Structure 1
Amino acid sequence: MARVQDLFDLTGRVAVVTGASSGLGEGFARSLSDAGATVVAAARRADRLEQLAAEVPGVVPVVCDITEPADRERLVATASEINGGIDVLVNNAGRPGPPDALSETPEQFDSILQVNLTSGFHLSAATVRSLPEGRGASIINVSSVIGLVSTAPIGGAGYAASKAAVVGVTRELAGQWGRRGVRVNAVVPGWFDTEMTDGLFSNEKSATWVRRNTMLNRGGREGEVDGALLFLASDASSYVTGHVLTVDGGWTAR
């Protein structure tokens, strides 16, 4: 029987994290590195990635735009060269949209889906196609409570649609790729103080709204999604696929 620390040990494995230049993505990169993985940190902001790589051993920065097919292929190729293949893919890159559906343009709606949903699907498919015969992987898609329940007046139609679809595609890919040894799961964060929720916690009215509607009476703290991510990335979840793991302090259980 494996020892507990061995279940979460990622030594020798290669993990790709998109949207790694800030927020939850940066935290994921740090935690995966702490668990022993070589982390390919992908994002558009070169300065942020370089700073992360300077601070965290084993981080390989790759500047790319995941909405560009050539950049996705280059990301997969770069990561695959490290140890023969990708062991963990974290589809974390995302962007918000306008909260008012009547003011959301077709271009904005399509752009949000492209970043939050479509690009992650294509990156996942490219990763699986690149795997050597018999090599499995863990793919972790980052959704949101906004994809599970209405959070109006905060959220937005395009964002909600993209994050709900992430849950659906997670289950479908888990079904299609399970026999290949590829596990596909989703993590669903609640309210955390990141760039994407800028102003939510500094405004007393909205901060009170979060506390009042969360069973633990607070927003998420730094690092509180990382344990769920490490569970899904590691052998601790070797018999878990198609699962949606919510980390929201009880927000969606009300």
Structure 2
Amino acid sequence: MIGPSLFSLKDRLALITGSSAGIGFTLARGLAAHGATVILNGRDKRRLETARASLADLGVNAHVRVFDVGDSGEVRQAVEDINQSIGPIDILINNAGMQYRAPLEDFPEDAWTQLKAVNVDSVLYVGQAVARHMIARGKGKIVNICSVQSELARTGIAPYAATKGAVKMLTKGMATDWAKHGLQINGLAPGYFATEMNSALVQDGDFTSWLEKRTPAGRWGRVEELVGAAVFLCSDASSFVNGHILYVDGGITSCV
């Protein structure tokens, strides 16, 4: 197959975790624009319904599922419910994540526990639950949201970088175990994007100046610039791409 249909997501059902706002919501909107039926996930039903209403204004009829991706029992129950009440999940984007900034020597233990649960445990729990069904069908796409911090360190966020490094290697491990069943599991790694989670950094003139000098593209990324990469990894266009981490970072990982 060669042509635009290679990137079509028509008749595909996509679950995007942590998708009530930010990157997750933008990816859900982007996948829907390419034909996918999307399921929004989060823990706050009100925010999810607001997101669904925003998509409805664009002509997208999205589904909502409220569950905690860091709770393996909730994840298994939710995935079973989706398969029974909506349909088989063709695409999973493991996007749920959090950040916590503090000097490493003073980093709180409870924050470390929460970071691991949201950023790493969720990728395993949701990935496992969804992959079991994909393996039985012999096909499926899983995209784990990594980070430029999967590759690079920066002061004040060592624990976050550790979790995103773990997601990178978990992605490669998933591909190693599940590619033989017809699944493609890859990572999408954003660089520095102007999102709600990064709002303090965006407003910090010194940091923005550093970033513009450090990044070959010379600017912050716009969340819409992640959609093309996500569609590629979720579509038939990436049928022989497995265990790859696609950095969308304005070139920052290319520089020493």
Q: Give the TM bin, normalised by the shorter chain.
A: over 0.9
Name the amino acid aligned to 2:14.
Answer: A
Residue identity opposite 2:154 in structure 1: T
Q: Compute the displacement of 1:150 (Å).
A: 1.3
1:224 aligned counterpart, secondary structure: helix
Structure 1 runs of 4+ aligned residues shifted over 6 Å read none
* Cα deviation, residue 130, structure 1: 2.5
Distance 1:110 1:165 in 2: 14
Counterparts of 1:129 and 1:79 in 2: how far apart (Å)? 14
In the aligned structure 2, how far is the partner of 1:91 from the partner of 1:58?
Answer: 21
CA distance in 2, matches of 1:67, 1:238: 29
Structure 2: distance between partners of 1:70 and 1:98: 29
What TM-score, normalized to structure 2? 0.93
Secondary structure at the residue paired with 1:249? Answer: coil
Deviates more, 1:166-175 or 1:132-141: 132-141
**Do 1:37 and 1:58's aligned partners in 2 also have CA atoms closer than 8 Å?**
no
Partner of 1:104: 107
How many positions carry a matched residue from both structures? 251
- Asked if residue 87 in structure 1 is aligned to residue 86 in structure 2, the reply is no
1:34 is aligned with what amino acid? A
Q: Deviations over 1:133-178 (max 9, x none)?
A: 333111000011112111225xx12211100011101111101001
Aligned twin of 2:185: 184
Aligned to 1:9: 8
Q: Which residue of 2 aligns with 1:137?
A: 140
Instruction: Give me the whole-angstrom Cα distance separating, in 1, the residues matched to 2:48 and 2:64.
Output: 6
Distance 1:231 1:94, change over 3 A: same
**Unaligned runs of at least 5 residues, structure 1:** none
Secondary structure of the corresponding residue to residue 225 of structure 2: coil
User: Is the Cα contact below 8 Å between 2:195 and 2:223 reproduced in 1?
Assistant: no
> Residue 54 and residue 224 in structure 1: after superposition, are their counterparts in 2 closer, same or farther (change >3 A)?
same
Q: Which amino acid aligns with 2:143?
A: I
**d(CA) in 2 for partners of 1:138 and 1:58?**
21
Distance 1:50 1:77 in 2: 21
CA contact (8 A) 1:46 1:63 kept: yes
User: How do 1:18-167 and structure 2 match up within 5 A?
Assistant: 18-56=17-55, 57-81=60-84, 84-131=87-134, 133-153=136-156, 156-167=157-168
CA distance in 2, matches of 1:74, 1:38: 20
Q: Secondary structure at the match of 2:136?
A: coil
* Farther off after superposition, 205-214 or 132-141: 132-141
Uncovered stretches (5+) of structure 2, i.e. residues with no partner: none
Q: Is the 8 A contact 2:135 2:181 kept in 1?
A: no
Question: Root-mean-square deviation (CA), in Å?
Answer: 1.4
Describe the SS at the equivalent of 1:199: helix
> By how many angstroms is 1:82 displaced?
5.4
The residue identity in structure 2 corresponding to 1:135 is G
**Conservation of the 8 A alpha-carbon contact between 1:99 and 1:157:** no
SS at match of 1:131: helix
Amino-acid identity (%): 34
The structure with more helix, counted as a fraction of residues: 2
- 1:134 and 1:77 mapped to 2: Cα distance? 15
What letter matches 1:147 in structure 2?
A: S
Q: Give the TM-score taking structure 1 as reference length.
A: 0.94
